[in-house]
Each structure stands twice: as structure tokens, then as C-alpha cells.
Structure 1
Amino acid sequence: MFTKENYASYEDFCQRYELKAPENFNYSYDVLDAMDPEKVALIHVDDAGERRDFTFGFFQQSSAKLANALMAKGVKKGDRIMLVLYRRVEYWTVMLALHRIGALPIPSPSLLTKKDIVQRVNYAGISAIICEDSICERVDEARGECDGLNLFVQIDGELNDGWLDYEALMDKGGEDCPRTSDAPCGSDPMVIFFSSGTTGLPKMVLHNFDYPCSHFSTGAHWHDLEEGDIHLTLSETGWAKSVWGKFYGQWMAGAAVFVWDFRGKFEPAELLRIMAENKITTFCAPPTVYRFLVREDLSQYDLSALRHCTTAGELLNESVFHAWKKAFDMPIYEGYGQTETTLQVATFKFMEPKPGSIGKPVPGWEIALMDEEGKEVPQGEEGEICIRIDKPVLGLFDSYMDEPEKTASVKFDGWYHTGDKAWADEDGFLWFMGRTDDLIKSSGYRIGPFEVESALIAHDAVIEAAVTGVPDDVRGQLVKATVVLAPGYEGNEALTKELQGYVRELTAPYKYPRIIEYVTDLPKTISGKIKRKEIREADLKKYAN
């Protein structure tokens, strides 16, 4: 159904690569059930270091049994089900079971508070929750304020009052779950992801049953997966990135998904050990993770099985790119997309990467950089990343669920407006600048925060940085950096001058931060993205005349 071909160049890729969803597509029936039941689908290492291998046969059987059991409890097509499952194996079983039913999974992060649960359950009309036992107490605190919530399924632990035991429920489901004539497929609603909420309340991003097909580009071509590969994407299952790298495209490309279900603080040395011991062949993580990894003694780990690395989610610092390439003789290939899309811009193995560039448009995504009047900007000037939608685009979200006004505010005049800014160089490579709201206007210059942040974090003293603009009577805005320092450094005037000079050497002089504030941590969403809006609002009060 999905066959990988090799391409000599980006131009060859654009000319020959065309991806279509099969008619009446349903991932559980058309991909999972067609797999060799003896083949390893997923390798799971838990927080205690125990490894278990799961075959496609395991998921075929377990998803069928759970689908039958849930339907017996009244779950039906169109129901909205919240999942809070960390990186547990049950996540894959539940997702596949709900795909068989046509109920809409809403993968959710483990950091949700009682307030978050109440807000999301009522906002989304959620009728059931399937979660690990560690989440049950928070759900119980919230359930009195959630009138529509009527089914509670608990995984592990002593059973709480009013909850169904996952394993006992599974045992009641029959193993045969044949595809029916009215089985969900194609343009039917399939999954809802909440957006990160960096600029406001999270939105419900709805994707249909054709959506997984677009992830073949991610798995087969961006991750460069081959039959028998072991792929690790470092993402929790509460976000769309998990299905980018831990699910659909990887299985379609013939690879096994590797899952490290660690809890608590991320330890880079432990990740390197896990990768070495389990012979990971392909790896994807945010640039922040690579920054931590290159601070370790990489020569102590046998990563000889590793052959291809990718990154997305923020800007990749050039110094990290070169440190990784020096250590392993392989580049890091960048990519870009949103919760609302799949991979839409990337650097592939048949392209020479430009460190810091997100790459070029993926075939099937017609992209233009536009100004505020909807006109395409000249090469070299920044514009909003927009996607042509006057014909269907495989992988693009259907809508913001139940919010037609919000959908119409980004989908209009034949284009989807991403809200992200970039510029294109003379070779057609795109360079990400940030959200439109994040751009800084100083003395007539428009400055994207990512380039300045990238320069700052290249300095040994800086662990993290968020760059924003503060009001200024003369320049309009001043560039300000909010910085988290590495252990052993002190935020003083001498370091501030050193960092300012360091940025001036790496970027255009007008971009250096005239104000540097030192903090112990940055405000972030529960997905880990920096909340620059919160920093800006605090600065307005602090710096306003």
C-alpha cells in the first residue's frame, strides 16, 4: 500500500513523489491488520529498565478486544475520549481500538491539573477517560464539575471507586472485530489534539481518517526508515508529535517503534545509555535534547547502530549541529510542521542540510510566504508561512472542532495561514523566525526571536533563552533576553556584557539583546513550549512608562 522509493535530489523528489490516501482508509483495518502478526512492532523500556517486545499480532488482538469491550459499555462512533497514558503500551492499543470504533481519542499530557481537566472535558464534550492510576485522583477531583463524563477506565494500581479495571474490561471483549460496512474511514473525524496554547487557550485540532497516510512522508523519507529499523522519537503521547514519530509513519515504513517510558527528570546520560544498549538506528528529538546530549562525553557510548537523526519543534543551534556531526559523522536533518499539519517543510537525506534552516516544502504542500495583505513576499524577506488549500491537502487538519469562527480566521481566500513567519534564501531553503506575535520591531528592523536565542544558547553559560521585545520610546521596542544559566555561572554585569558581545559576533549587530534578565526557569506550556506572551505581558507592566 505504501512503498518507499529512493530519490537522487530534492528536484527528483518533487517530480516523482505523490502521496494519496487509499479509498475508505482506516489505519487499524488497512495497516495494522495487514501486518505480519509475528513481526515486532514496538520495543518498550519502562522506567525501571525492563524491556518488552510487542508484535503486530499483540496489537491486532488487544485493539480488537478493547474495541469490543468499549462498545459493550456504550462507546460509539463520534464519542470523544480523553487518554492520559504517558508512554505506556496501552496507549497504542487504545488508539487503535478507538480507530476501529470511530470514537475520537484526545491524547492528553500527564501534567494536566484538576482545572485543566475540568476545562478540557467540558470544552470538548468528553464522555470517557482512560488513564493510568496516577492520574485518577485528579480526575476524581474534577469529575463533580464534568456533567458529561460517564465512563472511567483505570490502568494499574488499586481500583478507585467508580472506575473500571482496564485488564478486566479487556478480558470481556471478543477477539474478532471485523470491519463493517459503516466502519469509520476517509473524511470521518478520527482524532483530536489540543494545541499547545502558547498564545491563548488551547484549540481542538481535528484530523480525519486519511491523516495517518501523510505521516508516511515523515517516517519513510524524513526519518529515512527502512525495513527492520528501530526508531526512537523522544515525545510523550499527550501531543501530536507522538504520532509523528512513534506510530503511523514508522509502522508504514516497516520500522519498529522504540519507546522509553521514563518518568521524572530527563537525564541525557541515561538516554545515551538506552540508545546504545538497544541499538537505536534512527532518532528524533527537539534541539533542546541535542543541546544536552552534546554536553555529555559522547565517546563513552557505542551508537554505531545509529545512522540518521532528525529534529523539530524549535531552532537547531549551529554549534550543536556541528558538535553532533563531529561526534557521529552524521548531520541532523530539520523539519517543520504544526499540530494542524503533518510534516510540511524538511531537509531530507538527499539534500545538503543548512544548519538552522527548516528545509524545503514537502511535495503535496504548496507553500508561499505572504505579507499582511496576502501578497507573496520577495526572496529574502520574511512572510507568514501559508499553505494553498483550494484543493484538498492530505495531512491538513479539518477544523478547530466546534469553533467555525476560529477555523475561518486561519482558512480563507484559498490559503491556510499558519501564524508562523519565515524567510527564503536564494536556494529556496526556509528559515523559521517565530510566531507572528513574537516578532520584534526595533528601529525599523524586524527581528525574529529564534536567531537571537540560537546565538545565546551557543554560549556555555546559557541553558535556555527566550527573546522578546519591550517598549521603548526611541526604538519602538528593545530586544530583551530572559536567560536560564548553566550551573557555575552568575548573572552579573560582566556576564551580560560578555553575552551581548557574543551575540553581536554571531548575528547582525542590531539584533543583540540590550536587556538581559536572569531567571531560574522560563514560563512554559505543559507541552514544554516557551510562553513568550506571558513574558511580554510581565514586561509591559515592568517597562511601560
Structure 2
Amino acid sequence: MGQTHNMADYDEVYRSFRYRVPEHYNFAGDVIDKWAEHPNRLAMWWVDDNGLEVKKTFRELSIISKRLANALTDQGVKPGDVVMLILQRNIEWWEAVTACIRMGAVVAPGTTQLTAKDLKFRAQKAEAVCIITNPEVAERFDSIADECPSVVSRIVISNTVEGWSFYDDIVARGSDVFLTAETSSRDGCILYFTSGTTGLPKMALHTHASYPIGHFTTGKYWLDLREDDLHWNISDTGWAKAAWSSYFGPWICGSALFIHHTNRFDPLKTLEFLSRYPVTTLCGAPTVYRMFVLQDLSRFTFPNLRHCVAAGEPLNPEIIEAWKTATGCTIRDGYGQTETVLLCGMFPCIEPRFGSMGKPSPGIDLDVIDGEGHVVPPNTEGDIAIRVAPHRPLGLFREYWKESERTASAFEGDWYLTGDRAYKDDDGYFWFVGRSDDVILTSGYRIGPFEVESALIEHPAVAESAVVSSPDETRGAVVKAFVILAPGYTGNDVLVKELQDHVKKVTAPYKYPRKITFVESLPKTISGKIRRVELRSMEWGKA
């Protein structure tokens, strides 16, 4: 569209980039309230499936968050206390995150798909003092509330529930005068439960300065946001991606958020909204784009869309091509973790290389290392790691809260280990190989599942796939693919052979899936990443 980007020269920005970290920082006071000085500056444009629309300015958000901070204080919540926030894309989610930050409470978001057992685990482990949720989850929580004595405040939205404070009432009664907490840059701000490949979820704790300020690069350079943008991030609020792209990243840039509150992702409805509303930038998981390109995209026009990104796992080149043909936008990949901000991205000013994660974010010294902590040469696979000495970068979590050994195990010498594997090409682009434990070893070969999935999705019969290792007497392990078929195709032996031959043609022949199972759905995390660990466990009889 002929617009200049926030980053014109990657090498120059990366070389000269420096963060300034104040001793005290509070996103609600230092960012939300600054934008609130402009009374009409839009913070969010919220719509639901019933045609309801709400627009909120930063000023309105500032006032409501002060009222809620007062209400939480009255309910016994103190700075440093953990508030469990279990909501969908309700407006109250954004208000509550802002209120918690404002008062110095630690907000712990979670998805509404959590079971009673999950809620109990989280409340006990975090010693949560308050829970803010909807009536459905409130009922679940009530069944285990007796086992969570630390929770003294229970707040429900939408409808009243016996024994719970009603959100609308306490906010209406709260004063809109509140002195924003002078939070230290080292104080805990946001707590994410993150599932490892083994064991129960761990608590990644981010601080008041490092995480919000660290997302400056997420918002300005990767999302490429400006004050007049309307940004849509299609993400569940329970996942850290919401903090990246639905909260800190856009709002630090002064952009407005477009929010679609819905119980289920509908690709057609989403495309309709994207063409109807003046959304300029879009962020979604690869699964979202995979579902988009299965629709008839020629039915839509996207006059305002100028920039699209994806994160969560690498995106297949075929999907990028199909989306670009339909919209004129190249989907640019980004990489990071619950424990970090954006670590690596296909920034708008760099030449896209489809399938690559891009180049390191400004402020992040990212590299590929071997088991001894040495940087490996280009085109050599190794562990993705962040250099943390002599300077620890902004955006890296403070610790796995209350688990010092787990925290220590994530660091090796001068490095933080992401647990992911990749290689760097001669030009400094990173190429994802897989989780350290997802790599398939067969007949002496190492095969990254993503390579096989990328080959499969090029075939018109394949809507989505997941590839894992499967036991084999001769080879130790072989490649197995679980395939969801595109509409109009039937799974049979003929198609199995066709898909195997196809993979042999488009990638190295040894990578083809010796076993293929057709399935209706794939196990996924809340954030839409395929849970290969679950499929692998089933194959190896550990499930």
C-alpha cells in the first residue's frame, strides 16, 4: 500500500537498539493513562456474534480500571497478590488486566476451558487471593473452593452467582480516584502457567518493566503498529499470545484493538468481519490461516488490510502464497515463548523467506548453540538460546515461580535455553527444526516433523496434519502422519500411497510417512499448537 514501515533498515535498528529501563514502571500509569490524556483515542472496538458493538477509549479504560482497583482493594487484594483471570474475550478481561497492573497485583490469565481440577491446581500453586470469571467457570470453581482457602475474593461477570460479587456492581460502586502503585521494575506483574512436555504446568513470572517494555519490539517492529491502526489478534485470552498482541504490543504503540468475542472460531465469519471492519493488521496462529485458505477467498476484499503475522509454529509456504494471492499481504512469521517476548521475526523490511522464523528481535542476542554452549556454524542444527550474560535482555521471564531448580535448568552458562531446535542460514535467518523432543530419529536420519507436515499440506487432499515418530522393529522408529482431509476427499489405501509418493517427490525420500492415519481432529493446546507429544505417547504406548 506504499506505506513506510517502522523499521526501514533491519541491520541498523538491530545494531543501534537499546532499551532504557526505569527503576519504577507501571503500564497502567505509564502507558494507558498517557493515551487517556487524549479523550477520544480509541482503545478497543469490540463485537460479538449477536451484532453487539462496543467502542472504548483509553480514558474509559483508565477510569474503569481505577474503579476495579479500588473494588479489589476493598475485597482484600493487596499488591503482590495473585488474581486468577479466567475469561473469554470479554471487555472485562482488558479492564481487569489493567486494574491488576495498576494496583500491583499479579494477574494470572487462564482459559475458560480449564477443568475444576486445573482451577484447583492453579489456585493452590499460585496461592491465588482472587478469581474473576464467568458463571460457567464459577460453578466449576465452587466445586473445589473449599480446597482453595487462599481465595478470599470471588468475582463473576455477566450474571449474578450466589456467593460471588457481581462485577458490574462493584465497579459501579468503586471510586474512580486511585493512586497507581509505584511498582518496581523487578516486581511480579503477570503469571502464565505453561505446559511442559512432561510434568504439571509451571508458572512463568514476568515483571512490571521487562515484559511490557520488552513488547515494544513486538508491537512496533513485528506488528508494525502505529497510532492509527486497528489491530486484530485472533487469540484466546488464556494464552500468552494475548499479552503480546492483544495488550502490551498494540497499546504501547497507541493502536486500537479489534476484538471479536465468540465461543468458536468460524473462518467464514472471521473473513466477513475482516472485510467489513477497517482492520489494518492481523495476527493469528497458523491453524487460522490454514482454515482461511480452504475457503473461497475470491468472495472477499480486504481494502484496509496491510500487514499480517503468524506465530505459534512455522507456517507452510503454500499457505503464505495462497493468502498473498487473495490479500496482497505476505504472512510474516514470529517466534517467541510464554517465557519471552518476540525473539525472532520476519520483520516487514526484510526479504521474506517462506518457512523461516526470520531474524533476531532488536534487543535480543539470539543464537544456535551446541551442548557445550558454543555457537555453531551456519547451517548446523542446534539449540535456540538467548545470551543472558553480561546483560540479561528485557522480555525474559524472571523465574519459574517457586521452582528454583526448574528455573536453573533452563539456563546453561551464559545462555537461556528455549528447548527448541533450529539452524541459521548464511544470511542469519533462523529455520525451525522442532522441539528438542519432537525430532524423529529413524535409520540414522534426523527428521523434523514440520518438514513432513509442510510437504503433506501441499497436497490438495490435506487440510492439516501432525507428524510424530512411531515404533518400528526394523528401523527403531518411523515417520507417522495423522491427516485431516480437506472436504470432498475420502481416506483409503490409494490415497495413502498417493500422499506417500507426494512427500517423496517434494522432500527427501527418506522423510516420507511410512504410516498414515486419517483423523477428524488433532489434539491441540489452548493456543492452537498441535500437541505432538500426545500423539507420540499414544504411538509408543505411554498414553
TM-score, with structure 1 as normaliser: 0.95
1:86 corresponds to which residue?
Answer: 88
Contact residue 198 and residue 532 of structure 1 kept, 8 A: no
Aligned match of 1:60: 62
1:142 and 2:144 are equivalent in the alignment: yes
| Structure 1 residue 446, shift from structure 2 partner | 1.1
- SS at 1:247 equivalent: helix
Bigger mean CA deviation after superposition, 516-525 or 146-155: 516-525
- Equivalent residue of 1:236, what SS? coil
Conserved? CA contact 1:44–1:258, under 8 Å: yes
Q: For residues 115 and 248 of structure 1, what CA distance do their matches in structure 2 show?
A: 30
Number of the residue aligned with 2:350: 351
User: CA offsets, 1:437-488, max 9 Å, x none?
Assistant: 0001112221111111121122222222111112334333211112222233
**SS, match of residue 474 in structure 2:** coil
Residue 168 (str. 1) matches residue 173 (str. 2): no
Q: How does 1:19-418 map to 2 (within 5 A)?
A: 19-35=19-35, 36-157=38-159, 159-179=160-180, 183-210=182-209, 211-264=211-264, 266-390=265-389, 391-418=391-418
Tell me how far apart the structure 1 counterparts of residues 374 and 316 of structure 2 sit (CA, whole Å).
31
Letter in 2 for 1:187: R
Letter in 2 for 1:478: V
Aligned-partner Cα distance in 2 for 1:83–1:442: 44
Of residues 502-511 and 401-410 in structure 1, the stretch that sits farther from structure 2 once superposed is 502-511
**Whole-angstrom CA distance in 1 between matches of 2:525 and 2:305:** 31
In the alignment, the residues of structure 1 paired with residue 194 and residue 178 of structure 2 have an alpha-carbon distance, to the nearest angstrom, of 32
Q: What is aligned with 1:9?
A: 9
Higher mean alpha-carbon deviation, 236-245 vs 452-461, is at 452-461
Gaps in structure 2 of 5+ consecutive residues: none
User: Does structure 2 conserve the Cα–Cα contact (< 8 Å) formed by 1:78 and 1:103?
Assistant: yes
SS at match of 2:51: coil
Which string of whole-angstrom CA distances, capped at 9 and with x for unpartnered residues, describes residues 24-62 of structure 1? 111011111111232111110012122111001111100
Structure-2 residue corresponding to 1:461: 461
> For the Cα contact (< 8 Å) 1:199–1:531, is it kept in 2?
no
Q: Given the superposition, is the C-alpha separation of residues 244 and 224 from structure 1 closer, same or farther in structure 2, using an over 3 Å criterion? A: same
Distance in 2 between residues matched to 1:412 and 1:143, nearest whole Å = 40
Larger CA deviation: 417-426 vs 530-539: 530-539
Whole-angstrom distance in 1 between the partners of 2:49 and 2:369:
46
Task: Work out the CA distance in 1 between the residues paired with 2:325 and 2:527.
Answer: 31
Matched-pair contact (CA < 8 Å) for 1:26–1:99: yes
- Alignment check: 8 A CA contact 2:316 2:454 kept: yes
Q: For residue 78 of structure 2, what is the amino acid of its counterpart?
A: K
Check the 8 A contact 1:189/1:208 in 2, yes or no: yes
Q: Could you tell me which runs of 5 or more consecutive residues in structure 1 were left unpaired when the two chains were aligned.
A: none
For 1:170-224, what per-residue CA distance to the aligned partner results, in whole angstroms no more than 9, with x for missing partners? Answer: 12221111235xx223111111011144444211110000110111111111111
> Is the Cα–Cα contact under 8 Å of residues 198 and 530 in structure 1 kept in the other structure?
no
Give me the whole-angstrom Cα distance separating, in 2, the residues matched to 1:504 and 1:426. Answer: 27
Helix, strand or coil for the counterpart of 2:227? coil
Q: Distance in 1 between matches of 2:77 and 2:541?
A: 49
Question: Letter of the aligned partner of 2:180 in structure 1?
Answer: R
Cα deviations by residue, 1:104-155 (Å, 9 ceiling, x for unpaired): 1110001011111112111221121101223211111221322322211010
Give the secondary structure class of the aligned counterpart of 1:12: helix
Alignment check: 8 A CA contact 1:28 1:100 kept: yes
- After TM superposition, the score normalised by the length of structure 2 is 0.95
Moved more, 414-423 or 455-464: 455-464
Deviation, 1:311, is 0.6
- Assess if the C-alpha contact under 8 Å between 2:235 and 2:527 holds in 1: no
The 8 Å contact of residues 76 and 153 in structure 2, kept in 1 or not, is answered as: no
SS in 2 for 1:161: coil
Q: What is the CA distance between 1:542 and its match in structure 2?
A: 9.4
Shift of 1:376: 2.2
Judging changes above 3 Å, is the alpha-carbon distance between structure 1 residues 200 and 465 closer, same or farther for their aligned structure 2 residues?
farther
* CA shift for structure 1 position 361: 0.6
Q: How far off its partner does 1:530 sit?
A: 2.1
Stretch of structure 1 that moved more, 121-130 or 331-340: 121-130
Structure 2: how far apart are the matches of 1:70 and 1:424? 48
The one-letter code sitting in structure 1 at the alignment partner of 2:290 is R
State how far apart, in whole Å, the 2-side matches of 1:88 and 1:185 are: 29
Asked if structure 2 preserves the Cα contact closer than 8 Å seen for 1:44 and 1:51, the reply is yes
Return the letter of the residue paired with 1:524. K
SS of alignment partner, residue 243 of structure 1: helix
Q: Which residue of 2 aligns with 1:535?
A: 535
State the secondary structure of the residue aligned to 2:423: strand
Give CA deviations for 1:405-453 in whole Å, capped at 9, x if unaligned: 1001112312101000111112111111111000011122211111111
Aligned to 2:470: 470
Counterpart Cα distance in 2 of 1:384 and 1:205:
20
CA contact (8 A) 1:449 1:468 kept: yes
CA shift at 1:6, angstroms? 4.1
> 1:463–1:486: 8 Å Cα contact kept in structure 2?
yes
CA contact under 8 A between 2:373 and 2:412: conserved in structure 1? no
Q: CA deviation at 1:19?
A: 2.8
- Asked whether the equivalents of residues 334 and 345 of structure 2 are also in contact (C-alpha less than 8 Å), the reply is yes
Distance 1:227 1:342 in 2: 21
Provide, for residues 152-178 of structure 1, a one-character-per-residue CA deviation record: whole Å limited to 9, x for no partner.
Answer: 101011x22210011111122211112
Q: Whole-Å Cα distance in 2 between the matches of residues 56 and 123 of structure 1?
A: 34
Q: d(CA) in 2 for partners of 1:196 and 1:366?
A: 25
Q: Residue type of the partner of 1:192?
A: L
Q: In the alignment, residue 257 of structure 2 is paired with which amino acid?
A: V
Alpha-carbon distance, 1:360 to partner: 0.7
**8 A contact 1:112–1:526 mirrored in 2:** no
| In 2: Cα distance, 1:162 partner to 1:197 partner | 35
Q: Quick check: 1:198–1:525 contact (8 Å CA) kept in 2? A: no
Following the alignment from structure 1 to structure 2, what is the Cα–Cα distance between the partners of residues 115 and 193?
Answer: 17
Q: Secondary structure of the equivalent of 1:330?
A: coil
Equivalent residues of 2:340, 2:396 under 8 A apart: yes
Give 3-state SS (helix, strand or coil) of 1:344's partner. strand
SS at match of 2:278: coil
How far apart are the structure 1 equivalents of 2:58 and 2:297?
Answer: 34
| Cα distance in 1 for residues equivalent to 2:308 and 2:164 | 42
Q: CA deviation at 1:5?
A: 8.3
**Residues 1:382 and 1:388: Cα distance change in structure 2 (over 3 Å):** same
Of residues 520-529 and 118-127 in structure 1, the stretch that sits farther from structure 2 once superposed is 520-529
